[in-house]
């Protein structure tokens, strides 16, 4: 049965591997993927551990439904204590590695210690070996995957890898697989680099056995038809997540020149249809009918030839609006470079945009930047800083540890201009007109985050009776309102925790399509795949358990209510341009604090954001850590 895949404990220091079964009770409590990883994180990582020490543990887990043919059921979770924030380190990645790990007999890997020499973990049909990776060290993320396949003489080998940024322990280095897929946030590539772990490679030929295979296949077909029938999926399959840009930039919901403006004027070349000049088709993850990423080719220019995938909406902001670059080709080159070096798109773009504003204001100068002219729109400076950050050279090394370390080095009120929460950069969205989004980035357990709770459907102006039915309580249909928005964030947190734990794609649930699959559909998929039965209420409680355990981890690491905050600029600087609905907006501090109180209450936490004894007992968390696995 699919839920009976194993967990393996791999000690890189001794190269010892221990395998065991995952108790069914763990599935009933946490499902898999992110859920079980968060349990492992709380139970296996000691309080206050140095994220770069051998005592930090790395977790890799595929979702419970990984490998079924619908909803992009390929998602794999990677977790550790974050070297960027010190909080929950957790990132999600698609592609084909997760299902391949399952085909090889494993759902979860617990990686401890540190290898003396560069190493990679080889997983094949219930066997695990730690192998030498000296010949892989120094190679980029694409070359590394190619060489591993060549070493094993098998083009079907799938790998999670780091690039030179991970080797150099850039604190926001990511983990990559394929041409595009990235576990981008919180620095999991840095943790791999600190362990001298270059890659985890898998090849499996073991069948997946499902409880009710015929009913499962029929229902997967129904789910795929449901998804591709939504206007959102149809647009996404044509333009990818870039489709969001057209609406948000026109309205005035995109931060530009770091945080000075909320719309990119004359940004026509960044409109998604311009990818057609470079695209040679689209591709998707395992089990996905949408195919949301373009494969593109650049045949001219100093970085040519480039064959890559993307870009995402996030790259349009990171290397376009935030740094005031206005050419699609700039985005495509920068997207390729960060993926090649293995660093987080958002963090890199956010730090460069911040540095450009500091340069404009005279807080940093040519002496500090090594002569690099950090003027708005200077694409060559963007490309060079990407390289410097990955290599830890020059001014790039000032940025390579993230905002907190860079602020400490630069000083001189530089913190005011940093758009970050808990040490992690925000998406290029401007949340001043959208209180729900603002609450979401402030409260996320990972730091500033659009993937832990963002209710994109808030932007649609749906009838309030539709929203009330969805969120099971009063919610305003006006996205500039504060009424009911804490409920939206709470509900989406629970949904996304479950989504990440069954291993399906967030874009194929209630993210941008209100009638997309959610609790009841998840329940049927789980039943047909595993014969385990969960009601909607039980699944919501699992989501609550996961999110509360993440909160407990952060509290243990010293995070409190004061860290659930927004940059001061959200309260002090009104949005200067945009449509009337978006112009002149700030976040009301008093209303924000009231939203925060309500949000804590919905979770069953007190006014300081600490889970009550009643809540812990209800969720079965009152005795953690329990070390059941």
Query: Which one of 203, 233, 267 terminates a domain?
Result: 203
pLDDT at 573 over 70: yes
Q: What are phi and psi of 599, to 5 degrees?
A: -60, -45
pLDDT at 36 over 80: yes
The predicted pLDDT at position 479 comes to 97
Rounded CA-CA distance 521/192 in Å is 36
pLDDT digits (tens, 9 = 90+) for 337-380: 999 999 999 999 999 999 999 999 999 999 999 999 999 999 99
pLDDT at 1 over 70: no
Instruction: Look up the domain containing 309 and give its range.
Output: 253-425
Q: Supply 16's token pair.
A: 């010892």
pLDDT at 509 over 90: yes
Which residue reads 């221990």 in tokens?
Answer: 18
Q: Supply 296's token pair.
A: 């593109």
Whether 629 is covered by a domain: the verdict is no
Task: State whether residue 199 is helix, strand or coil.
Answer: strand
Task: Write down how long the chain is.
Answer: 629
Inter-residue contact 345 to 314 (CB < 8 Å): yes
131: Cα separation from own chain's centroid: 29
The predicted pLDDT at position 513 comes to 87
Rounded CA-CA distance 535/519 in Å is 8
Same domain, 52 and 171: yes
How would you label 323-358 residue by residue, b for 16+ Cβ within 10 Å and e otherwise? bbbbbbbbbbbbbbbbbbbbbbbbbbbbbbbbbbbb
Same domain, 353 and 446: no
Whether 314 is covered by a domain: the verdict is yes
Rounded CA-CA distance 575/591 in Å is 18
pLDDT digits (tens, 9 = 90+) for 255-308: 999 999 999 999 999 999 999 999 999 999 999 999 999 999 999 889 999 999
Structure letter (DSSP) for residue 450: S
Whether 248 is covered by a domain: the verdict is no
pLDDT category of residue 3 using cuts at 50, 70 and 90: low
Inter-residue contact 546 to 530 (CB < 8 Å): no
Rounded CA-CA distance 479/459 in Å is 6
Same domain, 363 and 268: yes
Query: Which one of 425, 451, 485 terminates a domain?
Result: 425
Same domain, 185 and 326: no
Same domain, 479 and 376: no
Same domain, 401 and 443: no
Rounded CA-CA distance 90/82 in Å is 8
Whether 518 is covered by a domain: the verdict is yes
Same domain, 415 and 549: no
pLDDT digits (tens, 9 = 90+) for 75-102: 999 999 999 999 999 999 999 999 999 9
pLDDT at 2 over 80: no
pLDDT digits (tens, 9 = 90+) for 187-212: 999 999 999 999 999 999 999 999 99
Rounded CA-CA distance 31/618 in Å is 18
Inter-residue contact 399 to 372 (CB < 8 Å): no
Whether 457 is covered by a domain: the verdict is yes
Q: For residue 526, what is the enclosing H or E element? A: helix 519-530
pLDDT at 243 over 90: yes
Same domain, 194 and 98: yes
Query: What pTM was estimated for this model as a whole?
Result: 0.97
Whether 40 is covered by a domain: the verdict is yes
Query: Which one of 366, 391, 425 terminates a domain?
Result: 425
Rounded CA-CA distance 553/625 in Å is 10
Whether 430 is covered by a domain: the verdict is no
Inter-residue contact 43 to 624 (CB < 8 Å): yes
CATH number for position 357: 1.10.569.10
State how many domains the chain has: 3
Q: What are phi and psi of 426, to 5 degrees?
A: -85, 155
CATH number for position 582: 1.10.599.10
Integer-rounded Cα Rg, in Å, for the chain is: 23
The predicted pLDDT at position 106 comes to 98
Query: Strands (DSSP E) along 299-377, which ranges?
Result: 306-309
Whether 240 is covered by a domain: the verdict is no
**Average pLDDT over every residue of 415-432:** 98
pLDDT digits (tens, 9 = 90+) for 444-491: 999 999 999 999 999 999 999 999 999 999 999 999 999 999 999 999
**Average pLDDT over every residue of 110-122:** 98
Mean pLDDT of the chain: 97
Same domain, 392 and 439: no
Task: State whether residue 617 is helix, strand or coil.
Answer: helix
Same domain, 363 and 444: no
- CB neighbourhood size of 367 (10 A): 7
Same domain, 388 and 466: no
Residues β-bridged to residue 58: 111
Same domain, 453 and 412: no
Residue 305 burial by CB count (10 A; 0-12/13-18/19+): exposed, middle or buried? exposed
């Amino acid at each position: 049965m699919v839920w009976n895949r194993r967990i393996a404990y791999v000690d890189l220091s001794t190269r010892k591997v221990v395998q065991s079964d995952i108790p069914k009770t763990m599935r009933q409590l946490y499902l898999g993927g992110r859920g079980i990883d968060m349990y492992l994180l709380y139970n296996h990582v000691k309080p206050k551990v140095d994220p770069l020490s051998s005592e930090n543990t790395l977790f890799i887990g595929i979702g419970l439904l990984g490998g079924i043919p619908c909803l992009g059921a390929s998602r794999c979770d990677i977790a550790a204590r974050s070297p960027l924030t010190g909080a929950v380190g957790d990132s999600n990645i698609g592609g084909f590695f997760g299902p391949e790990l399952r085909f090889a007999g494993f759902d979860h890997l617990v990686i401890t210690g540190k290898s003396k020499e560069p190493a990679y973990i080889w997983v094949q049909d219930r066997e695990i070996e730690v192998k030498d990776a000296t010949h892989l060290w120094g190679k980029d993320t694409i070359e590394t995957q190619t060489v591993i396949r060549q070493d094993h003489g098998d083009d079907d080998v799938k790998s999670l890898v780091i690039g030179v940024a991970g080797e150099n322990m850039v604190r926001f280095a990511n983990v990559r697989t394929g041409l595009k897929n990235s576990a981008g946030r919180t620095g999991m590539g840095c943790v791999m680099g600190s362990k001298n772990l270059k890659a985890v490679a898998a090849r499996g030929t073991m069948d997946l056995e499902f409880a009710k295979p015929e009913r499962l296949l029929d229902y997967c077909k129904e789910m795929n038809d449901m998804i591709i029938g939504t206007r959102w999926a149809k647009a996404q399959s044509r333009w990818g997540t870039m489709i969001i840009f057209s609406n948000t930039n026109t309205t005035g919901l995109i931060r530009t020149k770091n945080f000075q403006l909320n719309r990119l004027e004359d940004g026509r070349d960044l409109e998604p249809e311009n990818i057609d000049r470079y695209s040679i088709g689209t591709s998707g993850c395992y089990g996905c009918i949408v195919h949301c990423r373009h494969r593109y080719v650049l045949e001219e220019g100093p970085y040519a030839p480039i064959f890559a995938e993307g870009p995402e909406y996030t790259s349009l902001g990171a290397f376009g609006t935030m740094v005031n670059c206005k050419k699609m080709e700039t985005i495509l080159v920068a997207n390729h470079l960060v993926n090649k070096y293995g660093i987080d798109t958002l963090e890199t773009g956010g730090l460069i945009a911040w540095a450009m504003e500091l340069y404009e204001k005279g807080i940093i100068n040519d002496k500090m930047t090594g002569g690099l002219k950090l003027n708005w729109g200077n694409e060559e400076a963007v490309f060079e800083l990407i390289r410097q950050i990955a290599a830890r050279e020059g001014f790039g090394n000032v940025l390579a540890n993230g905002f907190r370390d860079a602020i400490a080095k630069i000083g001189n009120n530089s913190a005011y201009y940093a758009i970050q929460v808990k040490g992690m950069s925000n998406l290029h969205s401007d949340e001043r007109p959208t209180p729900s989004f603002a609450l979401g980035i402030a409260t996320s357990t990972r730091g500033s985050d659009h993937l832990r709770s963002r209710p994109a459907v808030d932007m649609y102006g749906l009838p309030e009776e539709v929203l009330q039915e969805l969120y099971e309580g009063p919610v305003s249909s006006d996205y500039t309102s504060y009424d009911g928005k804490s409920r939206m964030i709470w509900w989406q947190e629970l949904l996304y925790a479950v989504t990440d734990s069954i291993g399906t794609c967030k874009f194929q649930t209630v993210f941008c399509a209100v009638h997309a699959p959610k609790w009841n559909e998840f329940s049927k998929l789980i039943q047909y795949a595993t014969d385990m039965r969960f009601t909607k209420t039980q699944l919501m409680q699992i989501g609550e358990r996961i999110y509360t355990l993440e909160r407990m981890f952060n509290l243990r690491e010293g995070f409190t209510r004061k860290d659930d905050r927004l940059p001061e600029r959200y309260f002090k600087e009104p949005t200067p341009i945009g449509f009337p609905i978006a112009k002149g907006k700030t976040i009301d501090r008093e209303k924000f604090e009231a939203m925060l109180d309500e949000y804590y209450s919905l979770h069953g936490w007190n006014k300081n954001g600490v889970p009550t004894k009643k809540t812990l007992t209800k969720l079965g968390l009152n005795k953690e850590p329990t070390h059941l696995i």
